[in-house]
């Protein structure tokens, strides 16, 4: 079968055993399936540094892609009289603004260039100047560029000013350590098919129990009400509406493989190795990454588009695709770029083969210098 390696931010290449875990049908009210969901939620809590037995946080899964889970968390946690400050340095911050606009959630923004990290100092000044802000939302790894935002400092600032912090950790959770309690996070939101290496179809929010208890009646959406979803799970362990059973079976298998690799640290090491090899190999060919190395998360790398007029992204993509690799277009608003992911079931050998394929592609397209114009 012609199945390319996905060097993308998701859906990703998954292991054969994760795919095979979907070969069984599950009854959603069956005790085995209830146990499967419970086990997944407990493991996701542990990934966030939380002991499930302490009940300080709850993991509330929700059907759909990552955006569904983000929208659900905001809809559930920001009450009608609240105001959300959205920190933006890329498309996923802007998406949270869109969610607020759809929902009619009062909000304000603080924005930085896409190649610059969020600034805790500017955040502190904003919070000091606007007591009406009740909640803050930020992106951990902004997948638009691949930048790693300084989440510990941002969390510290939010805590210092007594506000409630919602973290979009979609593309970092499972590969970069996030200690929910140490950072005093009200919610961490992520999905199955990024660093946990499950398949797409389910997201989840890890939410401080006290904040969930206060969230009854906040949601304007039936299916995205995480408070109601939580209450239902507490009552009988069941999903309120048809669960993505096969996706959850794959997620349970992916979590076992995550544990076997050494958890968040082990997974993060493989991705860091992938990222280092990718950047070194591409630089050797003449490509220029967007970000300074200290800002780069080991998740996805943005490269500046070559200035050679013979470079055309579609031709480049198709030539790489013929060689077995799917890359990703750029998403920056100001600069032309393309992206290559480091996550999913890929290792250093795969990255080396991908860089060789890029070299062959440059020869095929007649591009001698792929540096930006
Ligand atoms: C940081 C971040 N937030 C949100 C999303 C949205 O997730 P989805 O595309 O699964 O809805 C993504 C997807 O790549 C992401 O990287």
Do β-strands 135-139 and 164-168 pair in parallel, antiparallel, or remain unpaired?
parallel
Q: 66 C-alpha vs ligand 1 centroid, how far in Å?
A: 5
Given this model, what pLDDT does residue 333 score? 81
Q: 173 C-alpha vs ligand 1 centroid, how far in Å?
A: 12
For the chain, the C-alpha Rg in angstroms (whole number) is 21
Given this model, what pLDDT does residue 285 score? 98
Q: 182 C-alpha vs ligand 1 centroid, how far in Å?
A: 24
Atom 8 (ligand 1): residue with closest C-alpha?
A: 66
Closest CA to 272 of 146, 169, 116: 146
Within 10 angstroms of residue 181's Cβ, the number of other Cβ atoms is 14
Answer yes or no: are the C-beta atoms of 91 and 331 closer than 8 Å: yes
Query: Which ligand 1 atom is at minimum distance from the Cα of 68?
Result: 11
Given this model, what pLDDT does residue 1 score? 53
Q: Is 10 in the pocket of ligand 1 (CB under 6 A)?
A: yes
**Rounded Cα distance, 322 and 304, in Å:** 22
Q: Is 341 in the pocket of ligand 1 (CB under 6 A)?
A: no
**Rounded Cα distance, 168 and 65, in Å:** 13
- Cα dist from 34 to 17, 41, 234, 239, 241, whole Å: 21, 11, 11, 9, 13
Given this model, what pLDDT does residue 259 score? 98
Q: 196 C-alpha vs ligand 1 centroid, how far in Å?
A: 14
- Best residue among 70, 92, 175, 224 to mutate for probing ligand 1's pocket (most ligand atoms within 8 Å of CB) is 92
Q: Note if the bond before 278 is cis, omega within 30 degrees.
A: no
Closest CA to 145 of 218, 105, 93, 189: 93
Given this model, what pLDDT does residue 235 score? 96
Q: 366 C-alpha vs ligand 1 centroid, how far in Å?
A: 35
**Rounded Cα distance, 339 and 352, in Å:** 16
**Cross-strand bridge partners of residue 337:** 304
Q: 235 C-alpha vs ligand 1 centroid, how far in Å?
A: 30
Answer yes or no: are the C-beta atoms of 169 and 188 closer than 8 Å: yes
Q: What is the set of domains in the chain, with CATH numbers? A: 17-260 (3.40.640.10), 263-365 (3.90.1150.10)
Residue 159 Ramachandran class (φ > 0 left, ψ -120 to 50 alpha, else beta):
alpha
Q: Is 291 in the pocket of ligand 1 (CB under 6 A)?
A: no
* One pLDDT digit (tens) per residue for the chain, 373 residues: 579 999 999 999 999 999 999 999 999 999 999 999 999 999 999 999 999 999 999 999 999 999 999 999 999 999 999 999 999 999 999 999 999 999 999 999 999 999 999 999 999 999 999 999 999 999 999 999 999 999 999 999 999 999 999 999 999 999 999 999 999 999 999 999 999 999 999 999 999 999 999 999 999 999 999 999 999 999 999 999 999 999 999 999 999 999 999 999 999 999 999 999 999 999 999 999 999 999 999 999 999 999 999 999 999 999 999 999 999 999 888 889 999 999 999 999 999 999 999 999 999 999 999 999 7
Given this model, what pLDDT does residue 227 score? 98
């Amino acid at each position: 079968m012609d199945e390319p390696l996905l060097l993308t931010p998701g859906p990703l290449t998954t292991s054969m055993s994760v795919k095979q875990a979907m070969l069984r049908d599950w009854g959603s009210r069956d005790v085995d399936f209830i146990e499967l969901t419970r086990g997944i939620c407990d493991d996701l809590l542990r990934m966030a540094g939380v002991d499930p037995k302490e009940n300080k946080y709850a993991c509330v899964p929700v059907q759909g892609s990552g955006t569904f889970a983000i929208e659900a968390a905001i809809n559930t946690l920001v009450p009608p009289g609240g105001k959300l400050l959205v920190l933006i340095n890329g498309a996923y911050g802007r998406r949270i603004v869109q969610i607020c606009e759809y929902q009619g959630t009062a909000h304000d923004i603080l924005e930085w260039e896409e190649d610059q990290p969020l600034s805790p100092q500017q955040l502190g000044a904003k919070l000091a100047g606007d007591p009406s802000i009740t909640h803050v939302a930020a992106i951990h790894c902004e997948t638009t560029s691949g930048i790693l935002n300084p989440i510990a400092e941002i969390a510290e600032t939010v805590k210092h000013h007594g506000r409630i912090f919602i973290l979009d950790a979609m593309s970092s959770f499972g590969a970069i350590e996030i200690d929910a309690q140490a950072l005093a996070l009200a919610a961490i939101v992520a999905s199955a098919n990024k660093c946990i290496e499950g398949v797409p179809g389910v997201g989840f929010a890890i939410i401080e129990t006290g904040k969930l208890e206060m969230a009854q009646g906040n949601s304007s959406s039936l299916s995205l009400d995480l408070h109601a979803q939580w209450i239902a799970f507490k009552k009988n362990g069941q999903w309120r509406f048809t669960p993505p059973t096969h996706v959850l079976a794959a997620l349970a298998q992916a979590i076992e493989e995550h544990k076997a690799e050494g958890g968040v640290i082990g997974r993060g090491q493989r991705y860091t190795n992938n990222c280092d090899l990718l950047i070194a190999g591409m630089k050797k060919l003449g490509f220029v990454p967007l970000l300074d190395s200290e800002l780069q998360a080991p998740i996805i790398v943005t490269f500046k588009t070559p200035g050679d007029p013979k470079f055309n992204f579609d031709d480049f993509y198709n030539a790489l695709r013929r060689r077995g690799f799917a890359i990703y277009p750029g998403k920056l608003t100001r600069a032309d770029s393309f992206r290559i992911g480091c996550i999913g079931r890929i290792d250093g050998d795969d990255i080396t083969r991908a860089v060789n394929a890029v070299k062959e592609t440059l020869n095929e397209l007649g591009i001698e210098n792929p540096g930006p114009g």
